Amino acid sequence: MHRVSSSYWSGRPVRVVLADDECMFRASLRQLLAVPAPVIKDVYGVDVAAGFEVVGEAGSGEEAVSTVQRAKPDLLLLDLSMPRLSGLDALRELQTCSDGLHTILLAGTINKSQLLSALELGVRGLVLKDSTTELLFEALVSVMAGRHWLGHTLMTDLVETVRTLMQSSNATGGKRAFGLTPREREVLTMVAAGCANKEIARKFDVSEETIKHHLTRMFDKVGATNRLELAMLANERGLLDAS
């Protein structure tokens, strides 16, 4: 039996928004999240502390954006394939106005490109819709504890994609891999930890535009084309600060 505990909760339920265009699927999720925490622990072996509170629902990507902006939840369960605005496009719109939001993407199927895009957009967990209830609860708790969560199949796809990126990087070794300034290494370490530009700017008391300039320079030095690839290459090349 898997036991997962989280230090995120402070004696209150986690506020959740459910975003899926299938009413019956949302209803099933709502019923699962309404199960008392002691019962979840006894039945599934997962400690969800104070449990969950559904504070909003959405049946489209557009509704997901407006509901999150209004309800300001701790956690968003978001379907990848939403009408009018896809799950990934909804995340792009939420990037500038959802500080502190934890997102788990739900998908029937997902390709490698979508997987990388989701992680680059700050998704902390990806759960396939045919996963067991136990795995869903493990994902919820892991994400709220500040960790990333991927099922075995998704992790295999990610590993294969990372391996391809590494091979591509080695084949185009003309770009410099090092030469980062101390501040760039600090920024890079926060990027690899999943921090958004706003959070990094606040940490160093600079503007978000300054952080964007740092990222542009680091893309060239490390040989990356986006934030996720930057973090992967930096980790592989030992560029992250130990602290």
In this model, does residue 15 exceed pLDDT 60?
yes
pLDDT one-digit tens code per residue, 194-227:
788 888 999 999 998 899 888 888 887 777 777 8
Residue 4 in any domain: the answer is no
- HEC assignment per residue over 61-90: HHHHHHHHHHHCCCEEEEECCCCCCCHHHH
DSSP-assigned beta bridge partners for residue 19: 58, 78
Residues 102, 204, single domain; the answer is no
Q: pLDDT: is 42 or 152 the higher one?
A: 42
Chain-centre distance for alpha carbon 134: 20
What gap in Å lies between CA 16 and CA 77, rounded to an integer?
7
Residues 193, 138, single domain; the answer is no
In this model, does residue 172 exceed pLDDT 70?
no
In this model, does residue 170 exceed pLDDT 90?
no
Residues 19, 122, single domain; the answer is yes
What gap in Å lies between CA 18 and CA 78, rounded to an integer?
6
- For 242, residues 6+ apart whose C-beta sits below 8 A from its C-beta are none
pLDDT at 4: 40
Residues 37, 129, single domain; the answer is yes
pLDDT at 87: 92
DSSP-assigned beta bridge partners for residue 125: 104, 149
In this model, does residue 2 exceed pLDDT 50?
no
Number of domains in the chain: 2
What gap in Å lies between CA 111 and CA 117, rounded to an integer?
10
Q: How many other CB atoms sit within 10 Å of the CB of residue 94? A: 20
Residues 80, 141, single domain; the answer is yes
Residue 161 in any domain: the answer is no
Q: For the whole model, what pTM was predicted? A: 0.65
pLDDT one-digit tens code per residue, 124-158:
888 888 888 888 888 898 888 877 888 765 555 56
Residues 145, 196, single domain; the answer is no
Domain range for 63: 14-152
Residues 26, 144, single domain; the answer is yes
What gap in Å lies between CA 201 and CA 209, rounded to an integer?
9
Using 50, 70 and 90 to split pLDDT, how confident is the model at 23? Answer: very high
Residues 20, 65, single domain; the answer is yes
pLDDT at 7: 43
pLDDT one-digit tens code per residue, 52-63:
999 999 999 999
Residues 216, 135, single domain; the answer is no
Task: Write down the mean pLDDT value for the chain.
Answer: 80
In this model, does residue 239 exceed pLDDT 80?
no
Alpha helices in the chain (DSSP H): 23-33, 37-44, 61-71, 87-94, 112-120, 133-144, 152-171, 182-192, 197-204, 208-222, 227-236
CA-based R_g, the chain, Å: 19
- The torsion of the CA quartet 5, 8, 14, 20, rounded to 10 degrees, works out to -80
